Amino acid sequence: MKFTGVTNVSLPLWIANIPSDVPILIAGPTASGKSTLALSIAERRGGYILNADALQVYENWRILTARPNPKEETSVPHRLYGHVDGTKDYSVGRWLRDIKPYLGNGHRPIIVGGTGLYFKALTSGLADIPPTPPNVRAKATEKLKTEGLAALIADLNYETQARLDLQNPMRVQRAWEVFASTQRSIVQWQKETPPPLLRLGNCSTILFDADKDWLNKRIKTRFNKMVISGALEEAQKNLKHWNPIAQSAKAIGAKELISYLAGDLTFEEAKQIATITTRQFAKRQRSWFRSNMKNWRSVDPRDL
């Protein structure tokens, strides 16, 4: 990919010709160069860059989540980056509420990230299900642990069972929690899904379908680059208040660097585990995108 840093490079003609009033959605796996393309478009064609990555919303992990650096953030408007306290939970529903003011305000949105569920909710709508109370979630987790998945499934009505992937514990537990906390099935809530904030047909979509070997090479070198840029110092700042179950702790490499600082891993072990974890994450992303974004324009980032 030719774009580097704060870019002065011309865009491919098909991107440059996207009308200035059309929202641009850019999705793809980690380390594929999405943010750099978004920056190039914003610099050359104008617009706000809006984050669609569930980990880049957290203020306590800039480097490790590959958030745009301060120079990039000041070159063009960036929104929804680092605006959430690292101790707080964050949801797809809250992201939709946060992004809504930036849509239809006269500035072209360039929405970029690797969280497929954000894009799906943005363009398909999201059921307005109330948050699950902590005691209900704890009860569901304990029930799954002690009685097994079948016990949760047995409590769901037939319609929910028929529509649910019953082999997916997370989906089953979520459905169980929704009914336990609202006395309505998750299917009932989904039937009342409001219209999407953006309709896919009114947007220009770009899905990075990155070659596995090409992407893995980038992933292999990225951890070292992050450390050089200050990821270890960033982890040191997080060490005092480290909470392994916090959502922000899911930042890839966070657990490994914290373990290194605590003396539980060598640096090489931390690097190796973080690299493998990143590759596995990218593989899951690619699979999800290919299954759920078949109507998006697929682009090989090496061709840009």
- Which burial class, exposed, middle or buried, applies to 201 when counting CB atoms under 10 A from its CB (0-12, 13-18, 19+)? exposed
> What are the structure tokens assigned to 32, written together?
């594929």
CA–CA separation, 153 and 166 (whole Å): 7
Query: In the predicted model, is pLDDT for residue 4 greater than 50?
Result: no
Query: 13-126+196-210+291-303 — its CATH code?
Result: 3.40.50.300
pLDDT at 293: 97
pLDDT at 19: 95
60-111 confidence digits (pLDDT tens): 999 999 999 999 999 999 999 999 999 999 999 999 999 999 998 899 999 9
Integer Rg of the chain from CA: 20
pLDDT at 304: 85
pLDDT at 128: 87
Q: What share of the chain in percent tops pLDDT 90?
A: 90
> What are the structure tokens assigned to 226, written together?
């992050």
CA–CA separation, 114 and 208 (whole Å): 10
Fold assignment, 213-284? Helix Hairpins (1.10.287)
Are 27 and 107 in contact, with CB atoms under 8 Å apart? no
Alpha helices in the chain (DSSP H): 13-16, 34-45, 70-75, 92-99, 116-124, 134-147, 149-154, 158-163, 169-182, 186-191, 212-229, 231-239, 254-261, 267-292
CA–CA separation, 230 and 64 (whole Å): 9
Query: In the predicted model, is pLDDT for residue 177 greater than 90?
Result: yes
CA dihedral 44, 45, 51, 53 (to 10 degrees): -70
Q: Considering the entire predicted model, what is its pTM?
A: 0.87
Query: In the predicted model, is pLDDT for residue 215 greater than 70?
Result: yes
**What is the overall mean pLDDT for the chain?**
94
pLDDT at 292: 95
Crossing angle between the packed helical segments 134-147 and 169-182, to the nearest 10 degrees: 130
CATH architecture designation of domain 134-191:
Orthogonal Bundle (1.10)
Are 15 and 41 in contact, with CB atoms under 8 Å apart? yes
pLDDT grade for 246, boundaries at 50, 70 and 90:
very high
110-168 confidence digits (pLDDT tens): 999 999 999 999 999 999 898 899 999 999 999 999 999 999 999 999 999 999 999 98
CA distances from 8 to 4, 23, 25, 74 (A): 9, 22, 21, 15
> What are the structure tokens assigned to 162, written together?
């028929």
230 Cβ neighbours under 8 A, 6+ residues apart: 63
197 Cβ neighbours under 8 A, 6+ residues apart: 96, 99, 100, 103, 122, 123
pLDDT at 1: 41
pLDDT grade for 257, boundaries at 50, 70 and 90:
very high
Name the residue with higher pLDDT: 3 or 292: 292
pLDDT grade for 3, boundaries at 50, 70 and 90:
very low
Query: In the predicted model, is pLDDT for residue 58 greater than 50?
Result: yes
Most distant CA pair in the chain: distance in Å? 59
Per domain, the residue ranges of the chain are: 13-126+196-210+291-303, 134-191, 213-284
Query: In the predicted model, is pLDDT for residue 17 greater than 80?
Result: yes
pLDDT at 56: 98
